[in-house]
Amino acid sequence: MASSDLVFSVTRGKPVLVSPAKPTPHEFKLLSDIDDQECLRFQLPILQFYRNDPSMRGRDPVGVIRDAIAKALVFYYPFAGRIREGPGRKLTVECTGEGLAFIEADADVSLKQFGDELHPPFPCLEKLLYDVPGMGEIINCPLLLIQVTRLTCGGFIFALRLNHTMSDGSGIVQFMSAVGELARGARAPSVLPSWGRERLSARDPPRVTHVHRQYDQVTDTKSNVTPLNDMAYRSFSFGPRELSILRKQVPHHLRTCSSFELLSGCFWRCRTIAVRPAPDEEMRYIFFFNVRDKCQPPLPAGYYGNGVVLAAATSPASKLCQNPLGYAVELVKNAKSDVTQESIQSMADLMVIKRRRPYFTLPGTYIVSNVTRVAFMDVDFGWGKAVYGGLARGIVYDNIPDISSFHLRFRNAEGEDRIMVSICLPQPAMERFVAEFESMMKEPIVSSTYKFTKSPL
């Protein structure tokens, strides 16, 4: 049975606040000028599924995890505080020690009933991660909401909702791993947290030294808006065979490109063909890029803030569609190379100059977050590693699902780790996308071209 067909009920306890196990400093800590930009002011849901472990018999995952959270918050005490907004929309954490929101729950369903393959989207998300009224804002609310749901088989589901201004995927996994270590008996996390947000803050005075195409102000000339309920959602799975088929389609100098670059080029090109833009329309592939090692010196190992910036590849639509796959792959590869210490600093400066308001460009944009290297599934609270661990949805932004997507890892029914890429488009565009994608995945490879029309979707 697929999780989309699954019917079950959940009994929840009243949300409580879990505060640090020991007194922590009451202080104000500035977020970085990368943390508090407009495009990160949203809540990010995460789901972790765990099997029953006979060696943990008699131990309650709810109690074990709740106690470990209180211990972890002694080290990560800013998570027990609240975000405040100051002049220029600058965000600060007031470390109040109030705590994060925690929900205890029981479901009348076993892990096996969720199906052999666990991956987004999870239609049952609202049961596994209750949206507590009044706790979902960015300002003046708990920074984390956690629900632990016991299953009838002895397994459980750990669900977390993160205020994204506080951390990226790597940062929140660092916190969850600390909870796991403390739950398994450690006295302190093996990686101690490092704040260091000033490393990604603006200069005084700020100065923009780079062109940031991801924040171009472009007028959207489209007159038709597709209702959200008319969208079609598809997920595509990639293992060694599928990646090999795509890799054969790029020039030899690109054969060593990363899986992310390869899949980015494929989906950007297919999506552009599917949405039928004007030939001269500027298309943007915007992606979150981890800069922890790009910074000079690199950010410390314990940094748990947003260590990602937006990078952008751009091209006229006609060139994307009429050139082979290698063209798009090389553009993405070059966009990654363009991220330097100075461009990162320039981006932080831009956020201050624009009062943190520049949202990424929307017209002609496809925005992607790659979390395939974020170790969600390695988080262990004592019951072993997660059967599935990671994002609860396959799109980045609920309000603009047709331009946002994730690359993530999951394990198929045969136990093979694979990459999943999801995409959401209006139904007619989805049909064109699938047709183009399937033509690229055939062997032998046949190069495809596209004749532009100006007809609407």
What is the spatial distance between Cα 271 and Cα 263, in angstroms, rounded to a whole number?
Answer: 12
**Rounded CA gap, 241 and 245, in Å?**
6
Percentages of the chain per state (helix, strand, coil), in multiples of 5 = 30, 25, 45
Tokens, residue 144: 């984390």
Token representation of residue 424: 């959401």
Beta strand segments in 151-241, E: 156-163, 231-238
Angle between helices 259-275 and 427-440 (to 10 degrees): 130
List Cα–Cα distances, 214 to 43, 363, 366, 403, 437, in angstroms: 22, 11, 11, 14, 26
219, 363 Cβ separation under 8 angstroms? yes
C-alpha 291/C-alpha 299 separation (Å) is 8
Backbone angles phi, psi at 371, to 5 degrees: -115, 25
Which of 35, 119, 164, 407 does the annotation list as catalytic?
164
> What does the alpha-carbon distance between residue 305 and residue 286 come to, in Å, rounded to a whole number?
20
164 is catalytic: yes
Phi-psi category of residue 61: left, alpha or beta, with phi > 0 → left and psi -120 to 50 → alpha: alpha
The yes-or-no answer on residue 210 being catalytic is no
Of these residues, 33, 35, 349, 380, which one is catalytic?
Answer: 380
- Give the list of residues 6+ apart from residue 77 with CB closer than 8 angstroms, or none: 20, 24, 25, 95, 97
C-alpha to C-alpha distance for 95 and 97, rounded to whole angstroms = 6
In sequence order, the 6+-apart residues with CB closer than 8 A to the CB of 205 are none
Catalytic center residues: 164, 380
